[in-house]
Copies of this chain bind each other. A is one copy, B any other.
């Protein structure tokens, strides 16, 4: 048996998320079907990030074990011939038999894209959330910067988080956070396409979407950037803003930073 590591990209719009669900079209379901067909054996997939329904990925990671003799580096192109067009394997390689995509320290980078205009861009509606109100981009950047560092992110997590439900803590580290403009103005006014980018050691359930929703409220003036510290301190989901729509969220990349930790040394469990 060989363990193969793959990097995947997908348009989340028409998937019911990553994780296999009976009767639903999921990324894991499509991958395991395609790879099982290709290898002629039943293949199980272990994904790094179980993205929600509607969330996109440009660099999710997964592994599977196979006895196929197809060279590991050729797997990507061979799998793609059996996948729908909204899901691609970007690269494949062999890895150690005990390498696990959720049990190694990593830095995940997410992007949250917003279209800020008076009228929505009909060509971006699958990949950006829409905000028709005037946004202070500089205030949004300051709100994001207030989250950098190691904090208890209970206020920015969905209380249904499996990690929190099992008694895990909400302490996470955000390495970088900021916002940039990707276009020069929106239809009818506004800032155009904005991109929030957040890198961190791990994220709780809905954490990036709740951060994006709260930061948008800092952009409209409904909150002040300085309020972010108080929201963190409250450790209460109700103190933060709305959960921003799934369609603006992209898992951009996962970079593994360390060798596997010993079996007795479980790294922090991750929701996404």
Contacts and interface: CB of A to CB of B under 8 A. Distances in A.
Contact of A86 (B10, B58, B88, B125): B125
B85 A10 contact: no
Given A88-B187, A187-B88, A127 B123 contact: yes
B76 A119 contact: yes
Interface string A1-17: 00000000111000000
Interface in A121-137: 121-123, 125-127
A87 B11 contact: no
A188 interface: yes
Interface residues of A, number: 26
A56 interface: yes
B76 A9 contact: no
Contact of A90 (B90, B126, B187): B187
A90 B119 contact: yes
A56 B121 CA distance: 12
Interface string A93-108: 0000000000000000
A53 interface: no
A77 interface: yes
A195 to B, nearest CB: 14
B11 A123 contact: yes
Contacts of A89: 119
A187 B8 CA distance: 11
Given A9-B187, A85-B125, A88-B120, 6 more contacts: A10-B122, A56-B123, A58-B123, A77-B118, A80-B119, A88-B119
Interface of A: 9-11, 56, 58, 76-77, 80, 85-91, 118-123, 125-127, 187-188
